[in-house]
Structure 1
């Protein structure tokens, strides 16, 4: 009875608490940076910043410079443009350039090299769909338009810089290997067309390929479609010219195909300076990108 009476008057046990802590206070963070939230909450010691376009651009820059496809496609581009330009300069003499400046020799390698930029433009987006990395990308960056914008900016900067540099080196090589009183000289407009504008045209073509890759989400299908865009307008007019009723359409297609557009920028024909072809490609690319943005926002990955 005595034990039972003592048990009834024993105070209730208090839950174990650290020495000096109050029931409603949280523990101190290491280093005395303030208390952690009470009742099981968590405050990360890592500072949290709002994401912006610069972060997406940095991520896409890391991707494009760390994959082997970028190195290989741009290396083949440089090899074709510089190599073919060098061979043409070696097997020609000054007498072959009385009416045409030798800086235009980069055109012949660029006709093939543009396929490399087109391939890279497709792979920038479709490689992520092929490996499933696109799910990780869009989870880390839920704003899909920001992701695509970052890809566009990074690809355009890389492709234009490399293509313009290669075209400039080829033009300088031609001007250095063929010079003299009998050699035609190039004016500022032709220099700009053979270097900066030619690089911009090829880069826009690659950007169009990026938009097509976003729409199709398949590497082989998008590359095949872009090969049709580049090669079909150059081949189709040869068949359409047999019909008198189709001749106007054939001549227009022949004027604005990719090969003739590059030739116009290099001033190797009499069809103008190539600015109208460059503007048309810019409009077509903008329309394709608008469709790519809409498709990326609407459909599931």
Structure 2
């Protein structure tokens, strides 16, 4: 008859340290339990980082100041002038402030990723969360939500105030679709533009270089098109005008800079496709590169 074997000792939990051999001291148990990290933990970490940075407060503060300040100044100028809007919607008056304010969202998007490479914080981030795709997704989710909400609140406020300011200047009442495009539509576009900047920041890994790249992408097509005077370059010139970011942004205000090119909600699908491609490229490079 076989002798029953004694039960094997169970391994101590990861947070419990066994005493040294021959020691009479009890085993140490940490009060902090070890849990399996999830995507929500990464989101919480990125939210803590982005709200703690002074660059977030400055860029978003300047963004609100530009959009509200220029928007209300434009509305006041039209309201106090003798010109009539001829039943046109007053919502396009917010275009100029939002175009300048988009530079702030671009800057914040780049800093969300590229600044960690400049400070070396990216090493700590990747040590805590080795899943690089999860880190990039968490940064993108937190940034997109912040950019969308701030832009939506700011543009909606400016739109309502402008409509009230110019109601005696012959302006027409905006339709539901015009309201939707001038608030939700432009907010999605600006948030995606910032998300594209975030991806470029991860690819370039240098704040100044990535910001210069994005500002060039916004302004260069229009500047280049202005110098294409040759008739043989007319098609290229028109394409640069039609698909430039300022022209696509103006489509949401039913005030396109050109008579052809994207219309309706087309600019949103274009920026969505470009941003998705950039995010995928940033993720592939992030997986291959050394931190």
TM-score range, shorter-chain basis?
0.7 to 0.9
Residue 151 of structure 1: which of 117, 131, 139 is its match?
139
**Normalised TM-score (structure 1):** 0.84
Residue 265 of structure 1: which of 252, 256, 260 is its match?
252
User: Within 5 Å, which residues of 2 pair with 1:9-20?
Assistant: none
Contact 2:87 2:170 in 1 (8 A): no
Cα shift at 1:170: 0.6
**Normalised TM-score (structure 2):** 0.87
Q: Which has the larger radius of gyration?
A: 1
Contact 2:56 2:108 in 1 (8 A): yes
Asked if 1:296 is matched to 2:280, the reply is no
**Structure 2: how far apart are the matches of 1:36 and 1:55?**
25
The unaligned stretches of length 5 or more in structure 1 are 1-23, 27-34
The unaligned stretches of length 5 or more in structure 2 are 1-7, 11-15, 22-26
Residue 230 of structure 1: which of 193, 197, 218 is its match?
218
More off after superposition, 93-102 vs 287-296: 93-102
Contact 2:106 2:211 in 1 (8 A): yes
Residue 68 of structure 1: which of 39, 44, 54 is its match?
54
What is the number of equivalent residue pairs in this alignment? 269
C-alpha distance after superposition, 1:20-62 (max 9, x if no partner):
xxxx999xxxxxxxx9746657654432210000000000000
SS at match of 1:92: helix
SS at match of 1:48: coil
More off after superposition, 214-223 vs 101-110: 101-110
* TM superposition outliers: structure 1 runs of 4+ over 6 Å: none
Cα shift at 1:196: 0.8
Residue 195 of structure 1: which of 183, 188, 191 is its match?
183
Which residue is equivalent to 2:155? Answer: 167
Contact 2:68 2:97 in 1 (8 A): yes
Contact 1:213 1:219 in 2 (8 A): yes
User: Within 5 Å, which residues of 2 pair with 1:28-39?
Assistant: 37=18
User: Within 5 Å, which residues of 2 pair with 1:119-158?
Assistant: 119-158=107-146
**Structure 2: how far apart are the matches of 1:70 and 1:135?**
21
